[in-house]
Structure 1
Amino acid sequence: MTNDQIEQHHAKTEEAFKKYGYYSTFIFANNKPSFCYSTGIYKNFGIPELFISALPQNLSHELIENYVDQFKNVDSLPLNKRIEDLTGRFPVYLIEVPNNMLLDYTLATIKFYKGQEYKFLQLVYPDTKGLFPNDNGYDYDQIIVGEFKS
């Protein structure tokens, strides 16, 4: 990245923090599935950051936005439970992920918290046939970092 690109990225990040209270980073990966993750949700809304693997950029950002809107004012999250209304496209699950399992993925979040406490969840979604990772016949390249129980 050039210095100009880095400055543009930082300006975009600061603008997102001011407007939304968090920033989402999308990483296009060549040899493994792309992924997206949030930074700032835990600090500003008291709910875990979110990690999503192998979905398109706009859909990943939409899911993070919906997650914050739906759960920022609740006392407990529906972990390991089927969630039908996070998007109108398909059901999802939220699973816990130890931070150390995401060290190779969430560099912006690690840098943001600088050793402070934060938590992550992973959003798990079905394949194009509606099957989840524990279902027979599941066929999708999503990386499951936490322990998925359906």
Structure 2
Amino acid sequence: MRVRREGNGHRVRLETELRSRVDSAGYAVLAVFDPEEEAPPLTYSLGVWRSFGVPEVVTVGVDHDLGTALVEEYVCRSRDGERFKPGRPYAGFLDDLPVIFERVSPAHHADWLGSAAVLYPDRAFPMVQLLVPDPLGLWPWQPDAPRDFVQSQPVLTASGRPESWNPEVERQ
């Protein structure tokens, strides 16, 4: 579901549609865009915490088609019982590169995940960010990562840096 970042005019229709999707499928995937393109693309799940007991997931700075595919893969694998630990690399999301998860700080819920209030009005839900490397395998926090890549994929932890990532685990 693609959602435009705008005022409250469409809020009631959006909330009704989100609730309907979550009630029927157990979750919804939202691809949020800014008409002025000031913010990076944002795609996230809504309902997986309530339906499957796993954290919601978000991608930032990944185009919506890929972001939706990544979120769907996370939901399917989670629904099948797989659990994802922050800071560890996981294969099978991208063809040749691993992805990593980091816990999203609740301080980011209101600014980045406004529609989550439909299901979680108190904003008390866990969320992880699915982070992708660039085509050469560099993560946005690594010194040689391209500047535009770093800016397009902010890390939504409390510190704005990876808090669980362990490069030694990745090399194993």
TM-score tier by shorter-chain length is: 0.7 to 0.9
131-140 vs 5-14, which moves further = 5-14
Q: Which SS does the other structure have where 1:104 is aligned?
A: helix
Counterpart position of 2:155: 144
Q: Which SS does the other structure have where 2:86 is aligned?
A: coil
> CA 1:89–1:26 in 2, change beyond 3 Å: closer, same or farther?
farther
RMSD (Å), alpha carbons: 2.7
Q: Which SS does the other structure have where 1:118 is aligned?
A: coil
**Percent of aligned pairs with the same residue?**
20
Deviations 1:115-137 (A, max 9, x none): 27311100111113221123331
Q: Which SS does the other structure have where 1:24 is aligned?
A: strand
Q: With structure 2 as the length reference, what TM-score do the two structures score?
A: 0.73
Deviation at 1:59, TM superposition (A): 1.3
Asked if 1:25 corresponds to 2:30, the answer is: yes
Asked if 1:34 corresponds to 2:41, the answer is: yes
In 2: Cα distance, 1:47 partner to 1:127 partner: 27
Q: Which SS does the other structure have where 1:44 is aligned?
A: helix
Counterpart position of 1:63: 70
13-22 vs 35-44, which moves further = 13-22
> CA 1:7–1:48 in 2, change beyond 3 Å: closer, same or farther?
same
In 2: Cα distance, 1:145 partner to 1:116 partner: 15
Runs of 5+ consecutive residues of structure 1 not aligned to the other structure:
none
84-93 vs 123-132, which moves further = 84-93
